[in-house]
Amino acid sequence: MSLFKSRRRFHWLRKLCVLAGMAVVCGALFPVGASAQTIDFEKPLQNIDEDITAFSFAPDGRIVYAVRRTMKTKLYDLQHDDVWLQDTNGKKRRLLMGEKFKVGNTPFSYAVDSFRWSPNGRLILARLFVTSVIDEEGKTQDSYMTVVLDESGKEVRINGGENVIRDSANAFWLKDNNTVVYMTEALKPRLLFSFQYMNLATGPAGAAFEGRTFLGAGQIPRSNVAIGVEQDRAQAGPPRLQRLDLLAQDNKELATLKEFEGKFSVSPSGKKIAYYIDKEVLEVRDVEDMRRVVRVRIGLGEYQWAPDENRMLLKRAVERKTGDLVWINLPELTEIADGKDVPVEQPTPQPILRDIGFRDFEISGDGKLLGVITTGKHNLMVFPISVR
């Protein structure tokens, strides 16, 4: 019996608040007004020739990545990914051996879904998509859990116990490099979520903003503050944007939204937010002045901010599906009077790679490198971001 399943995703998630600015290059990369530079796709700076399921650049350019591994038991074929860290000099070390990773007493398969680095670059949160056997008949159940890893490969134990945070999604570090905030399912199936705290030294610390539920959230980089999309449990009222101080558990309401589809993201500076209002239109707002807004019709996909926050890189496919990469130039945000409709702009997508699709992509924090997971072999290729 196989426990391999297609991975279902939280509809609002993207790597919460991925902690970097975004840009990209492979075939033709160009900002507005610049000539394109062709890059030889056959000559990447790095090529990690493994079946990669997820990866992330550290603040200093190192790469943590997961490699798909399979194992057999008497009853099941299982997937237990390994996790590796590659230094900037190319040296690699394994942080997690999947074959030896066990949680509880029942068989389970898992695939690493995403990574999140601590602010000091020493600890890593690895989110796992898990399929577990829950009874003797072989019935299975899907869930997410988060594993805490140390850059050296040393085992991390939460308050001396397990190194996993069960039923956790969208986990991220606070500035102390010791406290983790994550979201748990508050209304099934994956409709609303609530915040929880965990401390490496003392263990689970309970709920944050107890009794309140959210459609999604994104951390303001290098802070203990997040922007959340709050929705009441009865789903009777409209979504509301909230500025959330995660330590003081204080909040400030920023705006009421008429429409919200998901894929919420905070820009690298924390000055802008973006989210889909439907399956075609992305809305961008100024955090300091919510009346300053723009809407662009780009189609539903996975997007990342460029470092200058005037553009976005869009993979024109849903998460983990193959799609091509295009630049989306964002029009200027303009102030819209209360009660007035926001016009929808339709920018022309600018392809960066001719006729090549990717399963996943990410830009290093300094904006100099692009990593892509290719289709087929799923190897990881790294290219320089360079224009002339």
**Is 80 exceeded by the pLDDT of residue 247?**
yes
Q: Tokens 């303009």 label which residue?
A: 334
List the one residue out of 385, 350, 352, 386 whose CA is nearest residue 370: 385
- Coil, strand or helix at 159: helix
Report pLDDT for 280.
97
Report pLDDT for 33.
37
Contacts of 31 (CB under 8 A, 6+ apart): 311, 327, 387
Contacts of 147 (CB under 8 A, 6+ apart): 96, 101, 125, 126, 128, 163, 164, 165
Burial zone of 169 (CB within 10 Å; 0-12 exposed, 13-18 middle, 19+ buried): buried
Check: CB of residue 183 under 8 Å from CB of residue 214.
yes
Please give the structure tokens belonging to residue 94.
Answer: 């394994």
- Rounded Cα gap, residues 298 and 148, in angstroms: 36
Amino acid of residue 283 = E
Among positive and negative, which fits the CA dihedral 240, 246, 249, 254? negative
Q: If you average pLDDT over residues 241-261, what whole number do you get?
A: 96
Q: What is the pLDDT of residues 4-42, one digit of tens each?
A: 443 333 333 333 333 333 333 333 343 333 333 444 567
Q: If you average pLDDT over residues 110-139, what whole number do you get?
A: 94
Burial zone of 275 (CB within 10 Å; 0-12 exposed, 13-18 middle, 19+ buried): buried
**Is 90 exceeded by the pLDDT of residue 158?**
yes
The domains found in the chain, sorted by start residue, are 28-384 (2.130.10.10)
Q: If you average pLDDT over residues 247-271, what whole number do you get?
A: 95
- Rounded Cα gap, residues 273 and 280, in angstroms: 17
- Coil, strand or helix at 158: helix
Check: CB of residue 216 under 8 Å from CB of residue 241.
no
Burial zone of 117 (CB within 10 Å; 0-12 exposed, 13-18 middle, 19+ buried): buried
Check: CB of residue 369 under 8 Å from CB of residue 363.
yes
pLDDT tier, 320 (very low <50, low <70, confident <90, very high otherwise):
confident
Q: What is the pLDDT of residues 207-231, one digit of tens each?
A: 999 999 999 999 999 999 999 999 9
**DSSP, res 20:** S
Amino acid of residue 342 = V
Q: What is the pLDDT of residues 58-100, one digit of tens each?
A: 999 999 999 999 999 888 999 999 999 999 999 999 999 999 9
pTM given for the model: 0.86
Check: CB of residue 17 under 8 Å from CB of residue 270.
no
Q: What is the mean pLDDT of the chain?
A: 87
Whether a cis peptide bond, with omega within 30° of 0, leads into 331 is no
Helices (H), the chain: none
- Rounded Cα gap, residues 295 and 39, in angstroms: 32
CB count, 10 Å around CB of 85? 21
- Rounded Cα gap, residues 151 and 95, in angstroms: 7
Beta bridge partners of 208: 195
List the one residue out of 163, 215, 172, 166 whose CA is nearest residue 194: 215
- Rounded Cα gap, residues 290 and 283, in angstroms: 11
- Rounded Cα gap, residues 177 and 123, in angstroms: 8
Report pLDDT for 92.
96
Burial zone of 52 (CB within 10 Å; 0-12 exposed, 13-18 middle, 19+ buried): buried
Contacts of 40 (CB under 8 A, 6+ apart): none
